Amino acid sequence: MAAAKRSVKIGFDVIELHMAHGYLFHQFLSPVSNTRIDEYGQKLEGRMKFPLEVFKAVRNSIPENFPLGVRLSATDWIGDSTWDLSEAIKFGVELKKLGCQFLDVSSGGNSPKQKILSGPSYQAGFAAEIKKKVDITTIAVGQITEPIQAESIIGTGQADMVTIGRGMLYNPRWAWHAAEVFSSECPYPPQYARAHHSLIGLPIPGNPQK
């Protein structure tokens, strides 16, 4: 709670609680890792109890209108009797009741037995289903690397936002180049203006017509 209060105080615009990828909250949520036999284990209601308690405490420690969301894994990717999309949807419903404003939908990371079927936009379908069933703002992730690909996810309503990981690691100026693909322009710091493609005659990545 103290960290959340400090985040607001120093000027952060949003807080996201990480409840995915095998970290503590995900370990409570998944029956693969949560083998407790007390009120914090066993059935879904028990496994959700601790993550929901923490979310509620954080929500109550910051201003009511301050954006607060959760990153969650939609599935463990290890078959039956595990954390899956149906349970993730139920968890999302409970989070929304407590004032969660968005869900950042990823998957996996909780077991070495996982068998992930990965590929371009491979997790966008999870975000789409949670957006539909929970009726909440969603963020799609997972091998989203191209501007048109990202635009398609948002334009077709699969998610309200996308986050770019690998694409930004490969190309730290991804957002600038994506804007140019759509014949738009991002503001450049003066220190970078001399390197703009229009000034040095280089082709714009992803847009060979310009």
User: Above 60 in pLDDT, residue 207?
Assistant: no
Contacts 24+ apart (CB under 8 A), 154-161: 157/128, 157/131, 158/124, 158/125, 158/127, 158/128, 158/131, 159/105, 159/124, 159/127, 159/128, 159/131, 160/102, 160/131, 161/102, 161/137
**Residue 79, pLDDT score:** 86
**Residue 185, pLDDT score:** 75
The tokens for 98 are: 């407590």
pLDDT (tens digit per residue) in 20-51: 999 999 999 999 999 999 999 999 999 999 99
**Residue 188, pLDDT score:** 76
The tokens for 108 are: 């996996």
Q: What architecture is domain 2-170?
A: Alpha-Beta Barrel (3.20)
**Residue 201, pLDDT score:** 52
**Residue 209, pLDDT score:** 46
Q: CA of 108: how far to CAs of 21, 49, 143, 175, 205, in Å?
A: 6, 21, 14, 27, 32
pLDDT (tens digit per residue) in 132-153: 999 999 999 999 999 999 999 9
The catalytic site residues sit at 23
**What average pLDDT does the structure give for the chain?**
92
User: Above 50 in pLDDT, residue 106?
Assistant: yes
Cα angle 75, 164, 86; round to 5: 20
What's the CA gap between 84 and 119, in Å, rounded? Answer: 19
pTM of the model: 0.89
CATH 3.20.20.70 domain position(s) in the chain: 2-170
The SS3 assignment for 12 reads: coil
